Chains A and B, each alone.
Chain A
Amino acid sequence: MFVGDGLRKRYGRSEALRGVSLEVADGEIVGLLGPNGAGKSTLAKIACGLVRPSAGAARVAGHRAGSPPARAAIGYLAELFRFPGWASAEEVMSLHQRLGGSTGGAAERAELLDLVGLADAARTRVAAMSKGMQQRLGIAQALIGSPRLLLLDEPTSALDPAGRRVVRRLLGEVRSRGVSVLLSSHLLGEVELVCDRVAILVDGEIVERGSPAELHTPRGIEVETGSGRRTYDGAVREDAPRIVAELVAAGESVYEVRVLASTLEDAYLEAVGERPS
Chain B
Amino acid sequence: MSGRIESIAAARAVVGFALAESVRRRVFAIVVALTLVFLALYGLGVNFAFDEIERRTLIGSELIDERALAGSTLFGLAMFATLFLGAVLAVFLTIGVVRGDAESGLLQPLVVRPLGRGAMLVARWAGAALAAGAYALVVYALSLALTSALGDWSPDHVVLPGLALAFAVVIIAAISVLASVFMASTAQGIAVFMIFGAGLVAGLLGQIGDALDSRTLERLADVASYVLPFEALYQHGLFLLTSEQLGLTGALVQLGPFGGASEAGSGLLAFALAYTAAVIGLGVAAFARADL
Using a CB–CB cutoff of 8 Å, the interface residues on chain A facing chain B are: 11, 45, 48-52, 68-69, 71-72, 74, 76, 78, 80-84, 86-87, 91, 95-96, 98-101, 138, 141
List, sorted by A's number, 20 A–B pairs whose CB atoms are closer than 8 Å: A45-B291, A50-B291, A51-B292, A52-B289, A52-B291, A76-B109, A78-B105, A80-B105, A81-B106, A81-B108, A84-B21, A86-B25, A87-B21, A95-B13, A95-B17, A96-B109, A96-B113, A98-B13, A99-B14, A101-B6
Q: Assess whether B111 is interfacial by the CB under 8 Å rule.
A: yes
B187 CB → nearest A CB, Å = 20
Question: Which 3 A/B pairs are nearest by Cβ-Cβ distance?
Answer: A98-B13, A99-B113, A81-B105
B112 CB → nearest A CB, Å = 5
Interface size on B, residues (CB 8 A): 26
A153 CB → nearest B CB, Å = 10
State in angstroms the CA–CA spacing of A259 and B106 once bound together.
49
Q: Assess whether B10 is interfacial by the CB under 8 Å rule.
A: yes
Tell me whether B106 and A99 are in contact (CB under 8 A): no
Tell me whether A74 and B109 are in contact (CB under 8 A): no
User: Which residue of the partner chain, among A78, A83, A100, contacts B114 with CB atoms under 8 Å?
Assistant: A100
Of residues 90 through 126 on chain B, the ones whose CB sits less than 8 Å from some CB of chain A are 104-106, 108-116
Per-position 1/0 for B19-50, Cβ under 8 A of A: 01100110000000000000000000000000
Tell me whether B108 and A50 are in contact (CB under 8 A): yes
Tell me whether B112 and A48 are in contact (CB under 8 A): yes
A104 CB → nearest B CB, Å = 14
Per-position 1/0 for B129-146, Cβ under 8 A of A: 000000000000000000
Closest-by-CB residue of A relative to B10 is A99
A107 CB → nearest B CB, Å = 19
B3 neighbours in A (Cβ, 8 Å): 68
Q: Assess whether B190 is interfacial by the CB under 8 Å rule.
A: no
Closest-by-CB residue of A relative to B108 is A78
Of residues 209 through 229 on chain B, the ones whose CB sits less than 8 Å from some CB of chain A are none
Known pairs A72-B114, A101-B9; A141 contacts B109 (CB<8 A) = yes
User: Which of B24, B106, B108, B110 gathers the greatest number of chain A CB atoms within 10 Å?
Assistant: B108
User: Which residue of the partner chain, among A82, A91, A100, contacts B113 with CB atoms under 8 Å?
Assistant: A100
Known pairs A98-B10, A99-B13, A101-B114; A78 contacts B291 (CB<8 A) = no
Q: Total A-B residue pairs with C-beta atoms closer than 8 Å?
A: 71
Closest-by-CB residue of B relative to A66 is B112
A150 CB → nearest B CB, Å = 12
A51 neighbours in B (Cβ, 8 Å): 291-292
B20 neighbours in A (Cβ, 8 Å): 91
A204 CB → nearest B CB, Å = 15
Closest-by-CB residue of A relative to B23 is A86
Given contacts A76-B112, A81-B106, 20 further A-B contacts (CB under 8 A): A45-B291, A50-B292, A52-B289, A68-B114, A71-B114, A72-B114, A76-B108, A80-B105, A81-B109, A82-B106, A87-B17, A87-B21, A95-B17, A96-B109, A96-B113, A98-B13, A99-B113, A99-B114, A99-B115, A100-B114
Closest-by-CB residue of B relative to A94 is B13
State in angstroms the CA–CA spacing of A81 and B113 once bound together.
14
B106 neighbours in A (Cβ, 8 Å): 81-84
State in angstroms the CA–CA spacing of A72 and B108 once bound together.
15
User: Which residue of the partner chain, among B104, B110, B292, contacts A99 with CB atoms under 8 Å?
Assistant: B110
Tell me whether A86 and B114 are in contact (CB under 8 A): no
Closest-by-CB residue of A relative to B2 is A101
Closest-by-CB residue of A relative to B113 is A99
A65 CB → nearest B CB, Å = 11
Closest-by-CB residue of B relative to A144 is B113
A83 neighbours in B (Cβ, 8 Å): 106, 109
B190 CB → nearest A CB, Å = 23
Closest-by-CB residue of A relative to B5 is A101
Tell me whether B10 and A86 are in contact (CB under 8 A): no
A50 neighbours in B (Cβ, 8 Å): 108, 111-112, 291-292
A80 neighbours in B (Cβ, 8 Å): 105
A76 neighbours in B (Cβ, 8 Å): 108-109, 112
State in angstroms the CA–CA spacing of A45 and B13 once bound together.
24
B115 CB → nearest A CB, Å = 6
B168 CB → nearest A CB, Å = 30
A99 neighbours in B (Cβ, 8 Å): 10, 13-14, 110, 113-115
State in angstroms the CA–CA spacing of A50 and B287 once bound together.
11
State in angstroms the CA–CA spacing of A87 and B289 once bound together.
29
Closest-by-CB residue of A relative to B111 is A50
B95 CB → nearest A CB, Å = 13
State in angstroms the CA–CA spacing of A225 and B108 once bound together.
59
A101 CB → nearest B CB, Å = 5
Tell me whether A49 and B17 are in contact (CB under 8 A): no
User: Which of A51, A76, A84, A99 gathers the greatest number of chain B CB atoms within 10 Å?
Assistant: A99
Closest-by-CB residue of A relative to B24 is A86
A243 CB → nearest B CB, Å = 55
State in angstroms the CA–CA spacing of A52 and B20 once bound together.
32
Known pairs A50-B291, A86-B24, A86-B25; A101 contacts B10 (CB<8 A) = yes
